[in-house]
Structure 1
């Protein structure tokens, strides 16, 4: 089930969750390691990871009693498509403006 861009943007709206994503971009990490790297408690890290997991931005795997989290590239697809739409529209508008300016300068 694919997540919506709004869900992803809401999840990334929190600075701690963005920091978690930045740390996970370096590779999979356990909750304890993330908690050691961030100025928040382990339970808070777990709560943020739950939100990121619900938004499909991270995936979880187990290794013994430890849980590791990693970035889910597929989860970023919804927000990428959202921003790509704006980028495409902006480029189309720029091309139309350039064409108009070119036509004016040759007239």
Structure 2
């Protein structure tokens, strides 16, 4: 049983960016993939390996290898409904993200 080429895959993307301008650029890029869930954490949805490669290539182009770090954790779709959120604090979410 193969995977469907257009099945969405979900990732938790966390970053620590030393420079304010680079941090803003990374945030802007990630907002196109999904909602910000913490100040330096996004839930990203991508469709297929090409979209994932586009995401990682875009991030690599924005960060300074020796000063910044981005971590991308795959999320299993069956576990997404088991996420536990403690606390009611809400971040301002941008409405301009899209799913690739």
Give TM-score, length-normalised by structure 2.
0.30
> Higher helix share goes to which structure?
1
> Higher strand share goes to which structure?
2
**Greater relative contact order structure (CA < 8 Å, 6+ sep):** 2
